[in-house]
Amino acid sequence: MNLLSYFRIWLACARYSIVRTMMFRFDFVMWSLVEFGWMAVNLLLIAVIYRHTQDIAGWTKYQMLLLVGTSMLVQRFIMGFFWSNLFEMARNIRSGHFDFFLSQPGNPLFMVSTRKLDLDGIANAFVAMAVVAYAVRELGLTPSLVDLSLYALMVFCGILINYGALLMIVSLTFWLGAAQGIEGSYFTLMEFSRLPRETFRGAANVIFVWILPAVIVSNTPARALLHGFEPVNALWLVAATAVWLGLGVSVFNRGLRRYASASS
């Protein structure tokens, strides 16, 4: 299959998701409001903290707002495009329904990753964009088209890092047969993406900045808007993207070879 065929499959899945979501509008509105409420609590927390201090690790109020908005943007896109698909994959592996994806003509990883869209997550991604735009305005920044393009590219890298890490974790179901607790551990790890890199010292700096992908996915794009293009940070982000995406795909493919179908 060529790229155009895969794009048509994705469009068909997207149309199905939209139609299905509109059939259950109240559910869509409720979950959108739940996610919006969670985002509002995080923003309110920043407002409360900065009533008592001028900066945190050198980050002022609106710089922190930019950082948190960037973290939310990455997470909302992950929730919108991949979250449900990957966790359904874990359930399907246990139940044997994963055979459905193997019987389709496309690449199994593509088919299992793109079957559904969560429109509530995508809708709140626009709220996160508004938070970033507000912070940029309050900081008096005037990013050029090139700056915005680099920021978007770095956010995309952050999405791929999250996807690779999540795929790797969920793919462990091929061996473990269960994935309880993965959702909570993943969210706990991603909570660190809302913190400035400068707050991490010693072992925490090594673990959360250089080993795990939590901090880099938000700090690097935010710093690019604040301080301009930083080649070292950009290269580190690209390298981390290649590593985590490669790990996720590798673990998935190894697990796929181990999978015993429901008919076996």
Q: What is the DSSP track for 163-192?
A: HHHHHHHHHTHHHHS--TTHHHHHHHHHGG
Rounded Cα gap, residues 223 and 67, in angstroms: 8
**Angle ∠(166,169,174) on CA atoms, nearest 5:** 125
pLDDT of residue 262: 55
pLDDT of residue 205: 80
For the segment 101-130, what is each residue's pLDDT rounded down to a tens digit? 777 777 888 988 888 888 888 888 999 999
* Sign for the pseudo-dihedral over CA of 63, 67, 72, 78: positive
pLDDT of residue 261: 66
- Which has the closest alpha carbon to 78: 148, 167, 195, 211? 167
Q: Say if residue 213's pLDDT is above 80.
A: no
Could you give the percent of the chain with pLDDT greater than 70?
A: 94
Q: Say if residue 187's pLDDT is above 80.
A: no
For the segment 188-210, what is each residue's pLDDT rounded down to a tens digit? 777 778 888 888 888 888 887 77
- Which has the closest alpha carbon to 170: 252, 106, 110? 252
Q: Which amino acid is at 91?
A: R
Contact 99, 263 (CB under 8 A): yes
- Which has the closest alpha carbon to 59: 242, 250, 199, 256? 199
For the segment 35-66, what is each residue's pLDDT rounded down to a tens digit? 888 888 888 888 888 888 888 888 899 999 99
- C-alpha separations of 32 from 21, 37, 196, 207 in Å: 12, 8, 27, 33
Task: Tell me the domain boundaries of the chain.
Answer: 3-258
Q: Say if residue 264's pLDDT is above 60.
A: no
Residues β-bridged to residue 59: 56
pLDDT of residue 184: 63
Could you give the percent of the chain with pLDDT greater than 90?
A: 27
